[in-house]
Amino acid sequence: MKTVVAVYTGQGLSGPLKSVFTEILPDCRLINIIDDSLIADVVQSGSVTAAVTRRLLRYFETAEEMGADAILNTCSSVGEVVALGCRVVDIPIVRIDEPMAITAVEQYDRIGVIATLPSTLQPTSRLLKAQAARLGRSVSIVDGLADGAYDALVNGSPEQHDQRILDTAMRLKAQVDVFVLAQGSMARMERDLADATGLPVLSSIRLGIGALKQVLSDV
- Domain ranges (residues) in the chain: 3-95+206-217, 98-203
Tell me if domain 3-95+206-217 and domain 98-203 are identical in fold.
yes
What is the DSSP track for 27-58? Answer: TSEEEEEE-THHHHHHHHHTS--HHHHHHHHH
Task: Return the pLDDT at 209.
Answer: 97
Residue 51 has φ and ψ, to the nearest 5°, of -65, -40
Task: Return the pLDDT at 98.
Answer: 97
Segment 174-191, tens digit of pLDDT: 999 999 999 988 898 999
Among 200, 173, 205, CA closest to 187: 205
Among 76, 106, 111, CA closest to 94: 76
Q: How far apart are CA 9 and CA 91, in angstroms?
A: 20
Q: What is the mean pLDDT of residues 10-27?
A: 93
Pick the CATH number of 3-95+206-217 from 3.50.50.60, 3.40.50.1860, 3.40.50.880, 3.20.20.150: 3.40.50.1860
Segment 139-158, tens digit of pLDDT: 999 999 999 998 888 888 98
Query: pTM for this one?
Result: 0.93
Q: How far apart are CA 63 and CA 49, in angstroms?
A: 21
Pick the CATH number of 98-203 from 2.60.40.420, 3.40.50.300, 3.40.50.620, 3.40.50.1860: 3.40.50.1860
Measure the CA dihedral 18/24/29/34, to 10°.
-30
Task: Return the pLDDT at 139.
Answer: 97
